[in-house]
């Protein structure tokens, strides 16, 4: 089984051998115009595709920046909302020894062992095994 050569290649071969007939020249010129139009269309499509890729990359960068900002704001809200962030100190209240006792709380780290302490250095501990609630 033999295959026929592509008409454009056949005409180019005849042109290179300088045996192209006038009607074949017109056929070759028409084929070249069609190919040029296809190349122009593909160039336009490629330009559109490149623009679309640029827009998608910009949108992706904007999305990433927005997500980072959301995470940053969520962390800030968590820090500022009471009860959502880890305690910075124990928080047990000093016992009310008199009605004039300043009610402060323990400033030691949570879960510390031994006595509690105020920011002024006053110390206390509970005599019973049951801890007082803050």
Q: Is residue 93 within 8 Å of residue 116, measured between CB atoms?
A: no
pLDDT tens-digit profile, the chain (134 residues) = 456 668 888 888 888 898 989 899 899 899 889 989 998 889 889 999 999 999 999 999 999 999 999 988 888 887 777 665 555 777 777 777 666 667 778 878 777 777 888 777 777 776 765 555 55
Query: Are 94 and 121 within one domain?
Result: yes
- The Cβ of residue 11 has, within 10 Å, a number of other Cβ atoms equal to 21
Query: Are 62 and 90 within one domain?
Result: no
Q: Would you say residue 72 lies in a domain?
A: yes
Query: Are 66 and 18 within one domain?
Result: yes
Question: In the structure encoding, which two tokens stand for residue 128, read together?
Answer: 């019973």
Query: Are 47 and 100 within one domain?
Result: no
Query: Are 18 and 42 within one domain?
Result: yes
3-state helix, strand, coil in the chain (%, to 5): 50, 5, 45
Query: Are 116 and 57 within one domain?
Result: no
Output the pLDDT for position 58. Answer: 92
Output the pLDDT for position 1. Answer: 47
**Which structural domain range is residue 52 located in?**
7-80
Query: Are 76 and 93 within one domain?
Result: no
């Amino acid at each position: 089984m033999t295959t026929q050569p592509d008409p454009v290649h056949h005409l180019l071969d005849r042109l290179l051998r300088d045996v192209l007939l006038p009607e074949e020249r017109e056929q070759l010129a028409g084929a070249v115009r069609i190919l040029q139009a296809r190349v122009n269309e593909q160039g336009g499509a490629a330009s559109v595709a490149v623009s679309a890729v640029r827009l998608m990359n910009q949108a992706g960068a904007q999305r990433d920046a927005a997500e980072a900002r959301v995470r940053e704001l969520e962390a800030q809200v968590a820090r500022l909302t009471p009860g959502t962030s880890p305690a910075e100190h124990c928080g047990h209240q000093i016992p009310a020894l008199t009605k004039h006792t300043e009610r402060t709380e323990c400033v030691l780290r949570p879960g510390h062992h031994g006595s509690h302490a105020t920011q002024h250095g006053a110390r206390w501990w509970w005599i019973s095994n049951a801890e007082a609630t803050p």
